[in-house]
Amino acid sequence: MVTSLKIDVYSAAIEGADRRWETRPVRTDRLVVASDQVRIEPKTQDDIDALVKAENERFAAGPTQDLIAKANAGDRAARKKALKEQWRHDFRLKEARQTNWTPATAALKHAGIWVADDCSLLTGALRSNNAELERMLVALHDGSLPGQELAGDEGKIDIMQPLPGEQDGVRMVNPLPGNTFLSRRGGDYASLAHLYTWYEP
């Protein structure tokens, strides 16, 4: 769960302020908090067997046999549909037999964990993220965010890799280019490519 806060500063008293400072922010900071990552258990042989069984049952209950009968009677449209169903079945069996979870299946399992128990984990993550954002906002204004003087530096940083000073399992605030500050637990990697703000005061 990634939560972010964008702070625009409007002032004529800050060095470099535009004459149109009332409509153009002098500085923009973004505070980003990634909740502790949820991990799913590795795929087991029991999981594979259950997925294969479920797919075979789904295929047997589907329209393929009727389509094959119609195709054998000369229905070309039914033949195309039967081939499509067979291809889909083969593809799903191949995925089921893989030793690792596919991205789609892993996403479904993650979603199930997040919404379990009336979304208790999701609610807890939002609350802890908001508390961390509040702490970071106070630190931003008093100038005590770690590396605050470096956050404006340009450059490329791969946030899908460990950042300087990070330790597995330990949460810390990392300064990133573009006046961005990321709070995350070491070893937890999440893309920040899509951060949206839908609230306008």
pLDDT tens track for 7-30 = 988 887 777 777 787 888 888 899
> Is position 28 within any domain?
yes
Tokens of 178: 């573009």
pLDDT band at 201 (very low <50, low <70, confident <90, very high): very low
> Is position 15 within any domain?
yes
Q: Please give the C-alpha separations between residue 71 and each of 76, 82, 101, in angstroms, as whole numbers.
A: 6, 8, 35
Q: What is the mean pLDDT of the chain?
A: 87
Note whether 36 and 73 are same-domain residues. no
> Is position 161 within any domain?
no
Of the residues 32, 65, 96, the one at which a domain ends? 96
According to the model, what pLDDT value does residue 178 have? 81
> Is position 201 within any domain?
no
* Contact present, 31 and 57 (Cβ < 8 Å): no
Note whether 31 and 69 are same-domain residues. no
Note whether 49 and 86 are same-domain residues. yes
> Is position 16 within any domain?
yes
The helix/strand/coil state of 38 is: coil
Note whether 86 and 53 are same-domain residues. yes
Note whether 2 and 35 are same-domain residues. yes
Note whether 66 and 87 are same-domain residues. yes
According to the model, what pLDDT value does residue 85 have? 93
Note whether 34 and 60 are same-domain residues. no
**Rounded CA separation 47/59 (Å):** 18
> Is position 1 within any domain?
yes
Tokens of 47: 């999981």
> Is position 116 within any domain?
no
Rg (CA), the chain: 25
Q: pTM to 2 decimals?
A: 0.73
Which residue carries 């549909």 as its tokens?
A: 81
For 168, residues 6+ apart whose C-beta sits below 8 A from its C-beta are 186, 187
pLDDT tops 60 at residue 50: yes
Of the residues 96, 117, 135, the one at which a domain ends? 96
Note whether 33 and 49 are same-domain residues. no
Summarize the confidence of residues 102-120 as an average pLDDT. Answer: 92
> Is position 165 within any domain?
no
More confident: 195 or 37: 37
Please state the domain count of the chain.
2
**Rounded CA separation 146/107 (Å):** 33
Instruction: Read off the pLDDT of residues 55-82 as tens digits, 9 standing for 90 and up.
Output: 999 999 989 889 989 989 988 999 999 9
**Rounded CA separation 166/136 (Å):** 18
Summarize the confidence of residues 171-193 as an average pLDDT. Answer: 88
State percent of the chain over pLDDT 70: 91
The domain in which residue 72 lies consists of 45-96
Note whether 54 and 89 are same-domain residues. yes
Alpha helices in the chain (DSSP H): 45-61, 64-72, 76-96, 103-142
According to the model, what pLDDT value does residue 54 have? 95
Of the residues 72, 96, 120, the one at which a domain ends? 96
